[in-house]
């Protein structure tokens, strides 16, 4: 049995059935529904050939070529689908819900699969993603100078049952010139948006959502203007860790990442760091004086962070002094600060307006 379903039914379904993306491997790599499995009807080269035939000779010639190219593959497609969906319930899509997914649905239906065909295909899914990234969310922002343990605090908050969106994890980048940690590989912009939209969809918007203070770009990944403006305009809880604790964390995180790589990254910010400071940082790296190298770049990143704070409304900056970079301890301090901020807003607001107001005051 095959039936078409709208994107809303797929993403909101309580029954989590496997999703098979029948587009080419290159299309899938560019962006896909998180959790989907690629069962490509055509290879990258075959899709080009079919598309060319469609343009030059028309639809019927393209369909015939498509069957010629896939003629010996159908049993393989069915076996792949059965591995993905052993109970024979599966959702399918191609780019626009056209011939590729319809052909695969026909074959699986013939074999006895219960097939849900995504109406509008991946294009409809992308439109849904972009709508999610324009929505309003009750963000609380964890700020702090580099090395203050913001990510650790987010993990601590998640451990306390709080809602957390780890943007750096989604982007696979820690937000500075050293952000890949010499091992992370960033997703495409499209896939970053897909993952973020999926993460936001499961959030309860009647409760706060904690995120880290980020610039609009996280490495090569860009936040939508709406999401970034909400983060930039929301209340920021400024973790203020002692400088030596910050230094210890950064030495731990960056000390073993490879001297050549650290030098290459440092030389990329020479215009911002300055020629002399860059030279001093590179010499420190070469001599294995990682703490000295960190101190030099901390000065630059601290200045950048303070400059960013100056662009925010002072009333929305909540100082959270800390003694360490311990995630659990700082999560507790953040919750206490958030509770105090809520109580203060409740006192300032009129009856019925206080504690239930959104964290950004709107």
Half-sphere exposure of 239 (CA within 13 A, CB side): 35
Q: How many residues are listed for the chain in this entry? A: 362
Is residue 250 within 8 Å of 152, Cβ to Cβ? no
Largest separation between any pair of C-alpha atoms in the chain? 73
Q: Is 199 a catalytic residue?
A: no
- 277: phi then psi, degrees, rounded to nearest 5: -65, -35
CA-nearest of 200, 223, 201, 202 to 213 is 223
- Closest Cα partner for 249 from 326, 187, 318, 310? 326
Where b means 16+ CB within 10 Å and e means fewer, 122-154 reads bbbbbebbeebbeeebbbbbbbbbbbbbbbbbb
Q: Which of 94, 199, 221, 265 is catalytic?
A: 94
Alpha carbon distance 59, 70 (integer Å)? 16
Q: What does the block give as tokens for 200?
A: 């936001």
Q: What is the Cα–Cα distance from 51 to 45, expressed in whole angstroms?
A: 10
Which residues contact residue 48 at a Cβ distance below 8 angstroms, ignoring those fewer than 6 apart? Answer: none
Of 130, 79, 146, nearest in space to 302 by CA: 146
Backbone torsion region of residue 43, taken as left when φ is above 0, otherwise alpha when ψ lies between -120 and 50, otherwise beta: beta
Task: Show the tokens assigned to 43.
Answer: 């290879």
| Contact between 192 and 170 (Cβ < 8 Å) | yes
Phi/psi of residue 120, each to 5°? Answer: 90, -10
Total Cβ atoms within 10 A of residue 169: 17
Q: What angle do CA 11, 14, 18 make, to 5 degrees?
A: 65
Active site residues: 94
């Amino acid at each position: 049995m095959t039936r078409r379903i709208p994107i809303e039914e797929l993403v909101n379904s309580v029954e989590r059935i496997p999703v098979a993306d029948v587009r080419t491997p290159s299309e899938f790599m560019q962006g896909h529904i998180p959790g989907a499995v690629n069962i490509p009807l055509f290879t990258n080269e075959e899709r080009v050939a079919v598309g060319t035939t469609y343009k030059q000779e028309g639809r019927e010639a393209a369909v015939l070529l498509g069957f010629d190219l896939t003629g010996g593959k159908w049993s393989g497609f069915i076996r792949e689908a059965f591995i993905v969906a052993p109970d024979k319930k599966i959702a399918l899509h191609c780019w626009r819900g056209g011939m590729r997914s319809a052909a695969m649905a026909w074959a699986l239906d013939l074999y006895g699969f219960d097939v849900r065909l995504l109406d509008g295909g991946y294009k409809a899914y992308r439109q849904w993603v972009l709508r999610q990234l324009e929505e309003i969310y009750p963000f609380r922002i964890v700020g702090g100078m580099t090395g203050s343990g913001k990510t650790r605090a987010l993990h601590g908050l998640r451990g306390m049952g709080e809602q957390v969106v780890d943007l750096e994890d989604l982007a696979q980048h820690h937000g500075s010139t050293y952000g890949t940690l010499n091992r992370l590989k960033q997703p495409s912009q499209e896939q970053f948006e897909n993952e973020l939209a999926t993460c936001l969809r499961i959030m309860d918007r009647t409760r706060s959502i904690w995120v880290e203070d980020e610039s609009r770009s996280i490495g090569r990944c860009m936040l939508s203007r709406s999401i970034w403006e909400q983060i930039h305009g929301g209340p920021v809880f400024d973790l203020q860790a002692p400088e030596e604790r910050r230094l210890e964390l950064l030495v731990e995180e960056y000390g073993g990442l490879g001297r050549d790589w650290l030098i290459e990254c440092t030389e990329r910010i020479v215009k911002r760091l300055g020629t002399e400071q860059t030279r001093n940082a590179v010499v420190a790296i070469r001599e294995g004086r990682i703490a000295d190298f960190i101190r030099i770049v901390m000065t630059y990143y601290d200045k950048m962070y303070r400059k960013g704070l100056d662009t925010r409304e002072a009333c929305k900056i909540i100082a959270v002094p800390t003694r360490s970079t311990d995630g659990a301890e700082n999560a507790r301090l953040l919750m206490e600060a958030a509770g105090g901020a809520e109580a203060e807003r409740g006192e300032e607001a009129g009856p019925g307006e206080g504690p239930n107001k959104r964290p950004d005051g709107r």
